[in-house]
Structure 1
Amino acid sequence: MTTGNFHVFRDCLFSNVVEKLTEATKKTPNRSSPGKKARQNESEPEPSGPDPSELADFSDYLATDIFSSLPEKFQALSHHQYRNDIVNSNKWSLPLTLTVLEELSAHLPGDINDSLTAYGLIEPPKSDMQSFMAPVFSGYISAVTTPPLKWTETRTTACEICERDWVPVTYHHLIPKQVHAKVLKRNWHEEHRLNSVAWLCRACHSFVHRMASNEELAREWYTVDLICQREDVQKWSQWVRRVRWNRT
């Protein structure tokens, strides 16, 4: 097993577990009035449900069983391999085709489906193991095949939101690339700021993109300091900081 890649895969899976449970929390009805409920749903709720250590253990168990069952070439994916192996670069290009998703899912141990169902992460027939794993596979491929950046010297050893230094960090474009043209056209920021990044763990990275749209991130949340001023981010960082992995 490629240890570094496993850590990335585990983080992607953990992020998806948290996101699915957060979605389930949002859908849970409460006794408040419709107007109050609508206002509450406008912001990301404080994570609730299982303890972070429980989610960490569960995600670690899932990741270990799933990653070890996947093809060796998939486990060892890297930017160098992706760039120099035409066959695999075409096969693993994003978005993943249904054929590739089915092929990867076919490698998964049979008891994984039961575990995901028992935890409420999939609800047959509305959702299945393949639909749950699709963003995990995609996030993993994106993370391990991304070319080195010219601003890698800004890389931190710890996530800039939760401050955990025992999990892999990824770069987050503080001004999302998808809205660069609009940013310049509307004079929101100077051009030299477009490539500024923050180094976030996969879980915090996913949280930031759930908390606001790309346009909102560019206009209002374009520095780590601004992001960390949000109450929902502060609650999230306190919660996720308690996640530790028991195995390496």
Structure 2
Amino acid sequence: MTSHENYGIFRECLSSAIVARSEKPTSKRRTKVKRNGRKEVTVTKTEFVSSERANPEELAEFIDFIASETFDSFPEDLKTLSYAEIQHDADLAKKYIPLDKDTPLDRAVLDSICIVTPVDVTDSLSVYGLIPDSADFPDFISPVLLEYISSVTTGPPAWSTTKTDACEICERDWIPLSYHHLIPRGVHAKVMKKGWHDEWMLNSVAWLCRACHSFVHRMAGNEELAREWFTVERIMEREDVRDWANWVGRVRWKAT
């Protein structure tokens, strides 16, 4: 993944944490007596009856500020962390991937990330009451980082679970779709022999309408598709593909 894509994921993870802490519940306390055998036990229960929510536009701006300032301070290997990266770098995996979901991020790694976080970030979180004090930032950001790391290092899904509602080239959503092997099956052996891609990428697919599927196979042979055009994003960089998509996207017919 690129750092731009990873930033979007980090922002969502951070947003969830900030939104959860931005809701300030009002409560009432209710006391009642429970009889436990011969003893009377007093139980005090807090009931949340409403929440005061921050202005959504202001909150969105605040989240953008905290996310961008924090992410920009990350080490480069954390910004570009991905499933592919950890497959090739055991040290990187050891650094960022916990042994299991209940294991926190290594404290030395966490401290090295937090120590370069801009003071404006920690002070802002403290001033707005999202953390008790600037010194509490590591405890706040640790679960956010774990969620981010888990998201960007998750392996590719089975192709059958990636089906889209619309063609990934022309974006028509009313037409049947078929799956296009982004690395054509006929050259898988050569791909592995030449080391063009990792094995886990071989079954990547794009969901295309029949017209766009045929167009992709007309634009390049299987080897070129495997070497150069192995993601939808790369395919859409081509001017001829964009021109095709603009044209065919306007081709409609009545249902029979």
Q: What is the aligned residue count?
A: 148
Query: Which residue of 2 is the match for residue 96 of structure 1?
Result: 105
Instruction: Say if 2:138 is the partner of 1:130.
Output: yes
Instruction: Say if 2:73 is the partner of 1:64.
Output: no
Shift in CA distance, 155/40, structure 1 to aligned 2, threshold 3 Å: farther
Runs of 4+ in 1 over 6 A off after TM superposition: none
The higher relative CO (CA closer than 8 Å, separation ≥ 6) is in 1
Trace 1:185-204 onto structure 2 (pairs within 5 A): none
Extract unaligned runs of 5+ from structure 1: 158-248
User: Counterpart of 2:92 in structure 1: which amino acid?
Assistant: N
Aligned partners of 2:6 and 2:80 also within 8 Å: yes
TM-score (norm 1): 0.53
Deviation, structure 1 residue 97? 1.2
User: Counterpart of 2:161 in structure 1: which amino acid?
Assistant: T
Query: Which residue of 2 is the match for residue 17 of structure 1?
Result: 18
2:121 to 99, 112, 136: 112
Deviation, structure 1 residue 3? 1.1
- How many Å separate the matches in 2 of 1:48 and 1:79? 40
Extract unaligned runs of 5+ from structure 2: 33-43, 99-103, 167-256
Deviation, structure 1 residue 21? 2.5
Larger helix fraction of residues? 1
Deviation, structure 1 residue 154? 4.4
Larger strand fraction of residues? 2
- How many Å separate the matches in 2 of 1:33 and 1:156? 50
- How many Å separate the matches in 1 of 2:87 and 2:52? 41
Shift in CA distance, 33/156, structure 1 to aligned 2, threshold 3 Å: farther
- How many Å separate the matches in 1 of 2:51 and 2:9? 22
Shift in CA distance, 47/138, structure 1 to aligned 2, threshold 3 Å: farther
Shift in CA distance, 156/117, structure 1 to aligned 2, threshold 3 Å: farther
TM-score (norm 2): 0.52
Query: Which residue of 1 is the match for residue 161 of structure 2?
Result: 152
- How many Å separate the matches in 1 of 2:53 and 2:107? 32
2:148 to 140, 145, 149: 140
Deviation, structure 1 residue 91? 0.2
